[in-house]
Amino acid sequence: MKFQDNINLESALNFDNKYTRELPADPETANKTRHVASSCYSRVLPVKASAPDLVAYSREMAGEIGLSPKICESEDFVQIFSGSRILSGMDPYATCYGGHQFGSWAGQLGDGRAINLGEVVNKEGNRWVLQLKGAGPTPYSRRGDGFAVLRSSIREFLCSEAMYHLGIPTTRALSLVTTGDQVIRDMFYDGHPEPEPGAIVCRVAPSFTRFGNFQLFTYRGELDLLRRFTDYTIRTDFPHLGEPSKEVYCAWFEEICKLTAEMIVHWQRTGFVHGVMNTDNMSILGLTIDYGPYGWLEDYDPNWTPNTTDAEGRRYCFGNQPEIAQWNLLQLANAIYPLIEDAKPLEDSIQNYSNHFQDKWQNMMADKLGLANFHKTSDDALINEMLKLLQHLETDMTIFFRRLASLEVSSNTKHKSSSHNLIDHFSDAYYIEEQINEEYKIRLNKWIEQYRARLIQDKTPDNIRREKMNSINPKYIFRNYIAQLAIDKAEQGDNSMVNELLEVLRKPYDEQPSKEALAQRRPEWARHRAGSAMLS
């Protein structure tokens, strides 16, 4: 996109606030916590920041909505995306939705810490919602204050963009600003709250609509509003399906199931764990949304969750994500059933989710291994044994696959690798050297020989296989301990590592020789440190 540096921010953004124009608003205008009925949103203004300052911005996201670097580095930009100045085309609001949290119906939830500034349409005709997270209270804030702190804002800003560059469907982040205000938070929930620097992320997505939007209307018996909101959603976000009807509602749900399956496959591919897969955190566009206590697998452990709240039940652990997504889809199906009054097509779509996920997952795993195609008769056993090996001792998933790609295993290999050489080859991926025993060495050596034999069938040269594997297995992921290092610096006024990480994470599959330290396994000091392991 060609930037126009001679225009200001007011004229650069083309607002078309279809959501507030076409859907019913909360008639109450006072910004106080309350029950909001028969409405899709409440109009509310951000709180003006006392001394906003730009930490970082995404040039890719800025370019998508037509903003040049010159504009993004201006004082106007900081004022607007800290919520301190409202442009004439904006119509700020917070949306109303409900949801299941940890498997239990929670009732009304809503945007308690997010305020949508409005919707912009770029020159290509793409619609983007601009949303400030941490800009103050809304009618849905419940016991919260609506503000956000720097540590969580850094994590959301960087992870949103890291996910995008990894090729994972996600909401985006335009900017990160500090507010100059202090926010009181009890980080460890131990009765010792402390002031922390406040910050705001401008999140961007074609839509922030969640499963919980539809659930709340059905739960309350507001079926006319359910139909109106669903019709709006289809016409706005799924126009290719045609005018709403029972048949189109079914096709719409089928597409949501497929989009969700594809998103979860990407999570499993890269080792991402969302941490809070409540139905209010599930996007109808199949986007990763709401970056709270997320994390990336360090050692491969399907039972790992980054969320301390989920530490006992592990409902949202890595290995459960595919099944939880299906459970969430079932709740959405229950919510839209009154529009269709026929369970069969909804049940079929939920079953199709399983089939679609399984097909996508198998092909993804074949790609991770550099195989030309997935062959069920041979590859199921090969993949299952590899996953058992990864769990046999603490093995860094990300590093393991990158090291696997560099192994010489094609038919041109003149001799078999010894178990000693294999251990040396993968040594960077092992967290505890003492765990490496003879049993593991024998199993690894046997598996490598089976893997080698399978690759010989494909007749793929090592260099081609390596290129394929390195295009799907990232070298750089946004590890929690790296996030914490950037947070530590930023809280002292040094934003350099935030911007360094933003650059590194733009090319997660590339070799970046000067940034090798950011590709290493988690250091031992970070194993149990708050913010570097699990989060609240």
The residues carrying an active-site annotation are: 280
Looking at 459-517, list the stretches that DSSP marks H as alpha helix, in order from N- to C-terminal side. Answer: 462-470, 480-490, 496-504
Burial class (CB in 10 A: 0-12, 13-18, 19+), 86: middle
E strand residue ranges, 270-398: 272-273, 295-296
Q: Which long-range contacts (CB under 8 A, 24 or more apart) does 307-312 make?
A: 307/275, 307/276, 307/534, 307/535, 307/536, 308/534, 308/535, 308/536, 309/102, 309/536, 310/102, 310/275, 310/276, 311/534
Return the structure tokens found at 521: 């396994």
> Amino acid identity, residue 1?
M
Residue 43 sits at φ, ψ, to 5 deg, of -75, 135
Residues 6+ apart with CB under 8 A from 377: none
Q: Which residue in 13, 1, 46 sits closest to 120, CA to CA?
A: 13
Q: Is 166 helix (H, G, I), strand (E, B) or coil?
A: helix
Cβ atoms of residues 450 and 505 within 8 Å: no
Cα–Cα distance for residue pair 142/149, rounded to 1 Å: 18
Q: Which residue in 131, 108, 1 sits closest to 63, CA to CA?
A: 1
E strand residue ranges, 145-255: 172-185, 194-205
Cα–Cα distance for residue pair 334/346, rounded to 1 Å: 9
How many helices (H) and strands (E) the chain has is answered by 18, 11
- Give the helix/strand (H/E) hosting 95: strand 93-95
Q: Residue 254 half-sphere exposure, CB side, CA atoms within 13 Å? A: 13
Hunting for tokens 């092909």 — which residue is that?
Answer: 363
Cβ atoms of residues 419 and 436 within 8 Å: no
Cα–Cα distance for residue pair 30/341, rounded to 1 Å: 38
> Amino acid identity, residue 470?
N
Question: How many CB atoms lie under 10 A from the CB of residue 516?
Answer: 11
